[in-house]
Chain A
Amino acid sequence: MSATSRRRGPLIASGTETVTQALAGERRAIARLISLMERGGAEARQVLSQLHPHTGQAHIVGITGAPGTGKSTLVAEMAKVYRRQGQSVGIVAVDPTSPFSGGAFLGDRIRMRELATDRQVFIRSMATRGSLGGLARATADAVHVLDASGYPVILVETVGAGQSEVDIARVAHTTIVLQMPASGDEIQAIKAGILEIADILAVNKADLAGADNIVTALQAMLDLGSARSEWHHGQLLDAEGVVSDSSGEQLSWRPPVLKTCALRGEGVEELLAAVQTHWQYQCDTGVREYRERERANDELRRILRHDLMARLLDRIADTDLVDTVERIVAREEDPYSAAERLIAASGLEAG
């Protein structure tokens, strides 16, 4: 028997046992369940069903930002502070899969060396395996595994693609967007869209020149945004960036802009205080439940879409699909009518 089948074989027979072990915090079981999530398929779904009642406990914190902004270094420093506070920490660090080879170089652990033998810290490196948007398809499921296994804080480092890392806002309760000082065109370095997903903005490498310029630029952008009274995560921001209810309680959130120097661990405690404030704000104002519902809604729709599609394709012969494509290309049929016809012929709509 090969190493792979030896190692992975028993899981098929005793998925439930592995789930029990993971729920009890056994690290090897947790690791194997995450691998199962990466492989996907029916068994992964079955395990997720078993884990679901145990999830929803963790505070999930996302860290995103352009390549080399210091995400991994900061994640390690954050984990160290959580550990000093007595909390165990789960970490998922995502790096890109090479589109050419399908392989990946996962290097985030290099910066997390100091956490390497702390048994209360569980670090998992993940390759995107073709997913765009900054996370792997299985990242959310890996987070579910860690959540169910009892990690109260889970830090998720996205790919540093520097553009559309929007997935993280769907997975995390609190998203930290990292910036760093740049020479010259600082303003351009701040990508549009980033403010929409940021709950906290951190300017890392504050030891380098130009950090204050970035802070000022970010504050100015936030001022612009709130002057237009934008919805931010379902909450209305007024000109002051704050909406109060009759009791004068703050109902909306303006992302704070903080400076950190991850290399020296500076500003990290303040960052965690902001993370905690954001969590408290979400719990107090109902934003947490609102987002939870949004997430569940998203997930359900995604699963429905996937499952319906799979069932539909099961009922349509490949040759039928090929023929239809030919007819569309030959302008004998338009794609909308073709879709209608195929769905009708599938029998899925019966009744």
Chain B
Amino acid sequence: MAETKIRVLIAKPGLDGHDRGAKVVARALRDAGMEVIYIGLRQTPEMIVEAALQEDVDVVGLSILSGAHMAIVPRVIHLLEEYGLSNVAVFLGGIIPDEDVLVLRELGVRGIYGPGTFLDDIVQEIRREVTAH
């Protein structure tokens, strides 16, 4: 009777123009049985976290190609904490330099995916993150 679905918010923060990659990931997650709340382009950290709160998601997935990840991701994580949502797992897609990867992981980003990542790996890791032990 009780039905629990993994709910994932997918957002494209920053000012860069297209969201093809984010949509591809969103579709893959849907096809893996997840409920994907897709909020689209030009999202500020405030918009993202407010949506995460209202939608009661398990995971927030951010796609950032503009290079603005160090401005955006720490702010999202900070706001999640402020909203009492520190249990929401944050995943990040984009071209992220190695030194930033370390910092972001340290901050609590659960998965960071560059170009060429297999969609299946993202699906598996989100599943593991949400349902593990």
User: When chains A and B are docked, how far (Å) is the Cα of A27 from the Cα of B129?
Assistant: 25
Q: A124: which of B3, B29, B36, B55 is its contact (CB, 8 Å)?
A: B55
A246 interfacial by beta-carbon distance below 8 Å: no
B71 interfacial by beta-carbon distance below 8 Å: no
Q: Is the CB of A35 within 8 A of B129?
A: no
User: When chains A and B are docked, how far (Å) is the Cα of A28 from the Cα of B86?
Assistant: 13
CB distance from A151 to the nearest CB of B (A): 12
Q: A103: which of B1, B31, B42 is its contact (CB, 8 Å)?
A: B31
User: When chains A and B are docked, how far (Å) is the Cα of A127 from the Cα of B34?
Assistant: 10
User: When chains A and B are docked, how far (Å) is the Cα of A101 from the Cα of B43?
Assistant: 28
Q: A3: which of B5, B44, B87 is its contact (CB, 8 Å)?
A: B87
Q: Is the CB of B130 within 8 A of A125?
A: no
Residue of B nearest to A93 (CB): B37
Q: Is the CB of A3 within 8 A of B58?
A: yes
Q: A102: which of B5, B54, B83, B133 is its contact (CB, 8 Å)?
A: B5
A-chain residues with CB within 8 Å of residue B96 when the two chains form the complex: none
| Segment with Cβ contacts to A, from B45-53, B61-69, B97-105 | B45-53
Q: B32: which of A39, A101, A129 is its contact (CB, 8 Å)?
A: A101
User: When chains A and B are docked, how far (Å) is the Cα of A106 from the Cα of B8?
Assistant: 10
CB distance from B113 to the nearest CB of A (A): 18
B-chain residues with CB within 8 Å of residue A123 when the two chains form the complex: 51, 54-55
Q: A39: which of B4, B6, B87 is its contact (CB, 8 Å)?
A: B4
A-chain residues with CB within 8 Å of residue B84 when the two chains form the complex: 28
CB distance from B28 to the nearest CB of A (A): 9
User: When chains A and B are docked, how far (Å) is the Cα of A100 from the Cα of B33?
Assistant: 9
User: When chains A and B are docked, how far (Å) is the Cα of A41 from the Cα of B4?
Assistant: 11
| Segment with Cβ contacts to B, from A108-116, A158-166, A276-284, A288-296 | A108-116
- Bitwise interface map of A from 187 to 223 toward B, beta carbon under 8 Å scored 1, else 0: 0000000000000000000000000000000000000
Q: Is the CB of A110 within 8 A of B129?
A: no
Q: For chain B, which range describes its interface: under 10, 10 to 19, 20 to 34, or 35 or more residues?
A: 35 or more
Interface majority SS (helix, strand, loop, mixed), chain B:
mixed
A308 interfacial by beta-carbon distance below 8 Å: no
B-chain residues with CB within 8 Å of residue A105 when the two chains form the complex: 26-27, 30, 36, 38
Q: Is the CB of A98 within 8 A of B2?
A: no
CB distance from A159 to the nearest CB of B (A): 14
Q: A7: which of B30, B38, B43, B87 is its contact (CB, 8 Å)?
A: B87
CB distance from A171 to the nearest CB of B (A): 20
B-chain residues with CB within 8 Å of residue A119 when the two chains form the complex: 50
User: When chains A and B are docked, how far (Å) is the Cα of A8 from the Cα of B85?
Assistant: 12
A-chain residues with CB within 8 Å of residue B117 when the two chains form the complex: none
A-chain residues with CB within 8 Å of residue B3 when the two chains form the complex: 38-40, 129
Q: Is the CB of B51 within 8 A of A109?
A: yes
Residue of A nearest to B6 (CB): A4
Q: Is the CB of A109 within 8 A of B32?
A: no
A14 interfacial by beta-carbon distance below 8 Å: no
Instruction: Report if A125-B1 is in contact (Cβ < 8 Å); known contacts: A101-B32, A117-B50.
Output: no
A-chain residues with CB within 8 Å of residue B35 when the two chains form the complex: 97, 103-104, 106, 127
A322 interfacial by beta-carbon distance below 8 Å: no
Instruction: Report if A2-B130 is in contact (Cβ < 8 Å); known contacts: A28-B83, A116-B47.
Output: yes
- Bitwise interface map of A from 1 to 35 toward B, beta carbon under 8 Å scored 1, else 0: 11110111000000000000000000110111011
Q: Is the CB of A98 within 8 A of B39?
A: no
A-chain residues with CB within 8 Å of residue B73 when the two chains form the complex: none
A286 interfacial by beta-carbon distance below 8 Å: no
A68 interfacial by beta-carbon distance below 8 Å: no
Q: Is the CB of B40 within 8 A of A98?
A: no
Residue of A nearest to B38 (CB): A107
CB distance from B42 to the nearest CB of A (A): 8
B-chain residues with CB within 8 Å of residue A129 when the two chains form the complex: 3, 5
Q: A6: which of B38, B42, B83, B87 is its contact (CB, 8 Å)?
A: B87
Q: Is the CB of B32 within 8 A of A103?
A: yes
Q: Is the CB of A125 within 8 A of B55?
A: yes
Q: Is the CB of A34 within 8 A of B132?
A: no
B77 interfacial by beta-carbon distance below 8 Å: no
User: When chains A and B are docked, how far (Å) is the Cα of A97 from the Cα of B7?
Assistant: 13
CB distance from B11 to the nearest CB of A (A): 10
Q: Is the CB of A103 within 8 A of B33?
A: yes
In the A-B complex, list the 9 residue pairs whose CB atoms are closest, starting with the nearest. Answer: A103-B30, A116-B47, A31-B56, A110-B40, A102-B33, A103-B33, A35-B56, A41-B2, A7-B87
Residue pairs across A and B with Cβ atoms less than 8 A apart, 11 shown, are: A3-B87, A3-B130, A31-B53, A102-B33, A105-B26, A109-B37, A116-B46, A123-B55, A124-B55, A127-B5, A127-B35
